[in-house]
Amino acid sequence: MTATLYVPRDSGALSLGAERVARAIAQEAARRKIDVAVVRNGSRGLYWLEPMVEAATARGRVAYGPVRPEAVPALFDAGFVEGHPHPLCLGPTEEIPYLKSQERLTFARVGVVDPISLDDYIAHGGYEGLQRAAAMSAAQIVEEVVESGLRGRGGAGFPCGIKLRTAMLTGSDQKYVVCNADEGDSGTFADRMIMEGDPFVLIEGMTIAAICAGATQGYIYLRSEYPHAARTLAEAIAAARARGYLGANVLATGKHFELEVRVGAGSYICGEETAMLESLEGRRGMVRYKPPVPAISGLFGKPTVINNVLTLASMPIILTQGGAFYKNYGVGRSRGTQPIQLAGNVRRPGLIEKAFGVTLRDIVYEYGGGTASGRPVRAVQVGGPLGAYFPESMLDVALDYEELAARNGLLGHGGVVVFDDTVNMAEMARYAMEFCAQESCGKCTPCRIGSTRGVEVIDRIIARQDQSGNLALLRDLCDTMTNASLCALGGLTPLPVLSALKYFPRDFGLGDDAVSGLH
Ligand SMILES: Cc1cc2nc3c(=O)[nH]c(=O)nc-3n(C[C@H](O)[C@H](O)[C@H](O)COP(=O)(O)O)c2cc1C
Ligand code: SF4
């Protein structure tokens, strides 16, 4: 009988040696004349345990990790192929507390299935959402998505159903669906994990959006740093096309939908949806004025549904289980689940999908286990480079769009980056301004000029030159950037800057007088 072992082909696992582990397993199995099938799955998202190898046993999958190639002979000696004990054994995969306590809806299949096997996808409930959608009217699909409360997971949190309805109702001879897979936020990797670990869920989500809006062409705008995702997507798209899930007659509905991957050239601003459209049209990524919104006039001036990978990958489960099922998860106006990406100085970095409402403290300590350095947590940045820094004392905040906004923060794409007490927050504030200056598309003055002046002003504060005058200038500058920038790059850069200043004024070399003036 053939034994099945799973070795991830996810980039994170590959960077830790998964390829060599897979090779060592194949060689050792051949040497011992053991019949082993090695499936290259996605990552379960327990990155500190990668490469994590799983054995399929009669009592379910059993995990071992982190596995180095040198450990492979001893694992065979111990009988890991049948799930027997070994010092690297982590027990049944689904029982690992980090995984067991999650609520995986969007990530339900990631790490479980063979990413490029359409049969495996279907065997795990894949394409049920599209089958249901194919039997519904466009208006019914929109209502299901509206009912779910799904909001955009790319950063802005705009209600997904409203965007879909707008594109659906806008008449045109041509419409598009564009998936934003630029994933530029620091510390984020959930889009990549989906594309590498369960690409069909994204393809299915885009197809549902397309048949609803009446789009016949889709593009996945993929960042150039994701070559493994590009390869996996290409294989999955070809498989879907070959079996009639894409192409001239999707699922024999008479609907036409084609899908292509377009690779970006490495620019943070190309993740902003209108700059992304410029890039897709073959121009330099510069932000466009809005209105018109892309759902009315987007790619090549045609109605375009633009959504993040996670948003689109959530559509299949919403269509399969119904909007009410999805809406049952979450709190307030933040419905469903959020794939949270935990990174930085943390013991257990990884992917945690939880219903909205989980606290930052639970994420950092219960899941993350505190800092990797063992030193106290000093600050946590939520939401990528434009997100606020929260001090340890504020970690009880719930991950929820409104709760974070009430504290001058944002959820962004769900990235959480942890820093210990060796961090200098004045340097982080300076870095935020510098990042904005480097990544600015240059179209508007507050961002293009303001960010460069911002670096200079912070430098003067740190050098203790006229601190009160420069503090006033920095606030003024941040005010202008917030209110007069054309897009959120310039508009949100003040969040990390001002949060660092507010919660960590001593790092800027500010004395008691200046600190009391800040509060
Ligand atoms: C500077 C900047 C960078 C952005 N980068 C990304 C990105 O990498 N991925 C993404 O999905 N959205 C990004 N966005 C948000 C997009 O503009 C847009 O809101 C999103 O693609 C819409 O999809 P959603 O509604 O599913 O979130 C960025 C926005 C700004 C202002
Ligand atoms: S805020 Fe910055 S990135 Fe956005 S349009 Fe203005 S210059 Fe371009």
**pTM summary value:** 0.98
269 Cβ closer than 6 Å to some ligand 1 atom: yes
Q: How far is the CA of 287 from the centre of ligand 2 (A)?
A: 7
Phi and psi torsions of 120, nearest 5°: -65, -40
Phi and psi torsions of 340, nearest 5°: -95, 135
183 Cβ closer than 6 Å to some ligand 1 atom: yes
Contacts (Cβ under 8 Å, ≥6 apart) of 54 = 5, 6, 41, 61, 62, 63, 64, 93
Relative to the CA of 312, which ligand 1 atom is closest? 26
Q: How far is the CA of 375 from the centre of ligand 1 (A)?
A: 34
Q: Which ligand lies nearest the alpha carbon of 451?
A: 2
Q: Which ligand lies nearest the alpha carbon of 267?
A: 1
156 Cβ closer than 6 Å to some ligand 1 atom: yes
Q: How far is the CA of 307 from the centre of ligand 1 (A)?
A: 8
Q: How far is the CA of 314 from the centre of ligand 2 (A)?
A: 30
Residue pair 99/44 in contact (Cβ under 8 Å)? The answer is yes
Give residue 300's pLDDT: 98
Give residue 218's pLDDT: 98
Q: How far is the CA of 226 from the centre of ligand 2 (A)?
A: 25
Q: Which CATH superfamily is domain 118-327 in?
A: NADH-ubiquinone oxidoreductase 51kDa subunit (3.40.50.11540)
Q: How far is the CA of 401 from the centre of ligand 1 (A)?
A: 15
Hey, what CATH class is 330-420 in?
alpha beta
Angle of helix 199-213 relative to helix 309-321, nearest 10 degrees, comes to 80
Angle of helix 227-242 relative to helix 190-197, nearest 10 degrees, comes to 40
User: If you take atom 6 of ligand 2, which residue's CA is the nearest one?
Assistant: 444
CATH topology of domain 3-100: Glutaredoxin (3.40.30)
Decide: residue 265, CB within 10 A, 0-12 exposed, 13-18 middle, 19+ buried: exposed
Closest residue by Cα to residue 237 from 219, 252, 249? 219
C-alpha distances in angstroms, 313 versus 82, 209, 468? Answer: 34, 11, 49
CATH number of 425-518: 1.20.1440.230
443 Cβ closer than 6 Å to some ligand 1 atom: no
45 Cβ closer than 6 Å to some ligand 1 atom: no
Name all residues whose Cβ lies below 6 A of ligand 2.
269, 287, 440-444, 447-448, 485-487, 489-490
Closest residue by Cα to residue 499 from 438, 454, 432? 432
CA angle 243, 61, 101 (to 5 degrees): 100
Q: How far is the CA of 112 from the centre of ligand 1 (A)?
A: 28
User: If you take atom 23 of ligand 1, which residue's CA is the nearest one?
Assistant: 307
C-alpha distances in angstroms, 240 versus 9, 40, 118, 215, 465? Answer: 20, 19, 7, 17, 62
Mutate to test the pocket of ligand 1, among 178, 180, 307, 436 (most ligand atoms within 8 A of CB): 180
Relative to the CA of 441, which ligand 2 atom is closest? 8
Q: Which ligand lies nearest the alpha carbon of 488?
A: 1
Q: How far is the CA of 280 from the centre of ligand 1 (A)?
A: 15
Give residue 516's pLDDT: 66
Low-confidence stretches of the chain (pLDDT beneath 50): none
Relative to the CA of 436, which ligand 2 atom is closest? 2
Q: Where are the domains of the chain?
A: 3-100, 118-327, 330-420, 425-518
C-alpha distances in angstroms, 67 versus 83, 107, 147, 267, 350? Answer: 14, 23, 44, 35, 17
Relative to the CA of 274, which ligand 1 atom is closest? 17
Residue pair 406/444 in contact (Cβ under 8 Å)? The answer is no
pLDDT for 273-324, tens place per residue?
A: 999 999 999 999 999 999 999 999 999 999 999 999 999 999 999 999 999 9
User: If you take atom 4 of ligand 2, which residue's CA is the nearest one?
Assistant: 487
Q: How far is the CA of 182 from the centre of ligand 1 (A)?
A: 8
Residue pair 436/488 in contact (Cβ under 8 Å)? The answer is no
Q: How far is the CA of 350 from the centre of ligand 2 (A)?
A: 31
455 Cβ closer than 6 Å to some ligand 1 atom: no
